[in-house]
A and B are shown apart, each in its own frame.
Chain A
Amino acid sequence: MTTTNITLSKLTLRTLLWLPCCLAAWHFNAYYLAAICGELVHLFVNWLLPDIVTSVEQTGTTLAFVTTLKVQLQPKQAGLLIPEVNTLLYTYGLAFFIALMLAVSSKGWQILVGIIVLLLFQSWGVSFDLLAQIGIRLGPDVATQAGILDWHREAIALSYQMGSLIFPTLIPIILWVSFNQRLIRGLTTKFASIKNVFALVYKPQ
């Protein structure tokens, strides 16, 4: 089965059939994905806000980021801020991507490259969830300690919304389309020909 001769109904049906298996596989491997995301987020956030995150602790698929930021618990009692992020909310797109790729019998290396790219975007989602907590949800005191300015907050809010609402399901589709350009071209051949016809007929003399 090549990717160019699959029908859209077959593509839909196969994706729907693969999706439960891929979701199960993702769920059982989500711990390892969370661990990789944790390391990437640690690097990325410390690059954006140097020395804010000192370590990452993992409980199942939840990452806890130990920061140098202080919060006032009671008068004369302060503690270090340790925001938590549930990585499942950002990594489930992996199951969707693999289901789409298996539906068109893609090559192993394509799936592997896709997983690596997805991990970067998933780390984006986790990073901006953490930054949204530090910069927006936990109040101005924490944001000021972290050196987050007003316009930073706007950028964090947009990046967080992109990372949580759009990227988890859109990036798998963009990757799938990129790896299956022949299929898309197969669908568009006729339309491309129209452009050629018009180009020939209305060619300036």
Chain B
Amino acid sequence: MLRFLIFFTVILILLFTAELTQPVQNAIILPWTEALALTSASLITLFDSNVAAFGKILHSTTNGFAVSIEAGCNGIEAAIVLIAAIFAFPAPWKNRILGIIAGLLALQSLNIIRVISLFYLGQWNQQAFEWAHLYIWQALIMLDALIVWLIWIRMLPTLESACDAVQSQTIKQ
């Protein structure tokens, strides 16, 4: 556990520091955040046509309400935590890559729900928006990362499949 925590902390600090640098912000974070705003707007237009996305801003064309997707709301931090947790845990590389891809999908799916829910909460009640934005959704996104990580651990190869792999290797030899 100590080894895991040390690796996890080192990878987390490296990824988080890299995220804050201007080249990474320009090349990955900003385009990602804009894509998140665009995806959220596209999904909203399925049931509400009064929405538009400008860069990382989601804007209601009826009442002028707008939300800007900033650091902490684009799901990047939770993704970094999940990637660090998966890399730090002893597992085959194939499982790590699959875990990261599936995990990022799960995180970003919930994050789109967060952005859309906040967009409507903000139009309804500012206090509810503040609570959901600052406290509730932050915890839920990190809970999502934890559950995805635990599911990933549980789905690592079983003893039976390992024995099969060993047997097939032995037969080949």
- Chain A residues with a Cβ under 8 A of chain B: 8, 11-12, 15-16, 19, 23, 88-89, 92-93, 95-96, 99-100, 157-158, 161-162, 164-166, 168-170, 172-174, 176, 178, 181, 184, 187-188, 190-191, 193-195, 197-198, 201
> How far apart are A16's CB and chain B's nearest CB, in angstroms?
8
Chain A residues within an 8 Å CB radius of B145: 173
Check A173/B157 contact, CB under 8 A, given A162-B16, A193-B162. Answer: no
In the complex the two chains form, what is the Cα distance from A123 to B158 in whole Å? Answer: 43
Question: Which residue of chain A is the closest to B161 with respect to CB atoms?
Answer: A194
Tell me whether B159 and A88 are in contact (CB under 8 A): no
Question: Which residue of chain B is the closest to A189 with respect to CB atoms?
Answer: B159
Tell me whether A197 and B163 are in contact (CB under 8 A): yes
Chain B residues within an 8 Å CB radius of A172: 142
Per the 8 Å Cβ criterion, residues 123-173 of B in contact with A are 134-136, 138-139, 141-143, 145-147, 150-151, 153-154, 156-159, 161-163, 166, 169-170
> How far apart are A170's CB and chain B's nearest CB, in angstroms?
6
Question: Which residue of chain A is the closest to B139 with respect to CB atoms?
Answer: A96
Check A165/B72 contact, CB under 8 A, given A8-B154, A19-B139, A157-B20. Answer: yes
Extra pairs beyond A170-B81, A184-B153 (13, CB < 8 Å): A11-B147, A92-B139, A161-B20, A164-B72, A169-B142, A172-B142, A173-B81, A187-B150, A191-B91, A191-B156, A194-B158, A194-B159, A201-B166
Chain B residues within an 8 Å CB radius of A23: 135-136
B17 contacts the other chain (CB 8 A): yes
In the complex the two chains form, what is the Cα distance from A99 to B136 in whole Å? Answer: 12
Chain B residues within an 8 Å CB radius of A195: 90
Task: Give the total of B residues in contact with A, Cβ under 8 Å.
Answer: 37
> How far apart are B110's CB and chain A's nearest CB, in angstroms?
12
Question: Which residue of chain A is the closest to B135 with respect to CB atoms?
Answer: A92
Most buried by A among B17, B91, B153: B153
The 7 closest A-B pairs by CB, nearest first: A194-B162, A169-B142, A191-B156, A96-B139, A92-B135, A193-B159, A187-B153
Tell me whether A188 and B134 are in contact (CB under 8 A): no
B138's partner among A158, A168, A174 (CB-CB below 8 A) is A168
> How far apart are A72's CB and chain B's nearest CB, in angstroms?
31
Check A173/B146 contact, CB under 8 A, given A8-B154, A188-B156. Answer: yes
In the complex the two chains form, what is the Cα distance from A16 to B144 in whole Å? Answer: 11
Tell me whether A96 and B1 are in contact (CB under 8 A): no
Chain B residues within an 8 Å CB radius of A169: 138-139, 141-142
Tell me whether A95 and B1 are in contact (CB under 8 A): no
Check A165/B166 contact, CB under 8 A, given A92-B134, A173-B142, A187-B154. Answer: no
